[in-house]
Structure 1
Amino acid sequence: MVFLWGKDFDLSQTLNIDAVNVKTGETQHLDKTSLSSGLYGADAHALTNFATLDQPGFWNLEFTLYNTKGEKKNAGEFTIYVKEPYITIGNSTLMISQEDLYAGFYEETDIEIEGDDLPQEIELEIFSLETGETSTFTFKDKTDYTKTDGKNISTYKGDFQLKKSGKYRFTVLQQSQTVEVRKPISN
């Protein structure tokens, strides 16, 4: 949802939202939607459904209003930082961005799994491709929900540890993915 403040919002206007990658200049269209009356103290609002940005990094979000004659007016813009995607392991998602994964201990981490009739607990097996060491961590506290598209999702919570940076194989429910654990960037 986008909230707009200011005067003279014509509710027949259309809000266009684009994202411009600061580094590459690539533009991605995110949404085109109608304005609605004020909500939560805003003068107008619009329901949105953003597409996923295809690259991490800094993006300028540009908000443009179009009237019924096709005339446009800049409604505002701001910059956001988009992180790398979460780590996917088959139909499971470890809810940590790849860029946030470093050696260390992770508490109360979520794994989301799409599917039906999933067990009450699952295991995350982490195999070091460099040392051959395997560690197994149990994830519990299963919570089930259904997405708006009708797909069933189960979320599990657990702790895990990565002893050092390097290449690993993460396995959940017999599905595996190679994952690189990076060294922290020092400033």
Structure 2
Amino acid sequence: MKKPLLFALCSVFVASSASAELPRAPQPIKPLPIKPMPPLRLPKPPVRQCVDPAATAIDAVIVARTSRFAGTVRITGRVKNVGNAAYVSRPGQQIVQMWEETPGARPRLVAQQAFTNLAVGQEMFVSFARPWSSSDEFQPQYKVVITYDPDIFLDGNTKNDDCNMNNNARVRAPASINALFR
């Protein structure tokens, strides 16, 4: 009986070996066709309107010389709307002032100019002329300031609400005026 059992086992082995698949070469993966998507178009955020009168410069020029180190100097403060929207207001709500600040003395208002409207990029000026000697001991500095009514932000007019109050003053030191005489 051993032979028939051995024969049966061999037959099962041969039959199972014949039915086993041989390993195949890997098939390449084909990508799925993808249609290109149209570009994403997001709406542009609205540009924030910014009304921004700014004290941009204080210029000084010699208009007459009395000696090598003295003469008459014209000091001019410049204010410009550097924002992206027009400044539109009512008379009496804003003014540009020029102050003379001498060490040890109270500041002195030397010039002022009221304004109502400033288009984008428009400039306005305030000027003052005075005798100057570069040898004076206590020379003043000059300050240009934009001042507004205290309730300007409460008047219901957003076209006169300055969006950047940090650029409303500019100072010119006396040393830079002395340098004109060298």
TM-score (norm 1): 0.31
Q: Which entry has the higher C-alpha Rg, 1 or 2?
A: 2
Q: Give the number of the structure whose residues are more often helix, by fraction.
A: 2
Q: Give the number of the structure whose residues are more often strand, by fraction.
A: 1
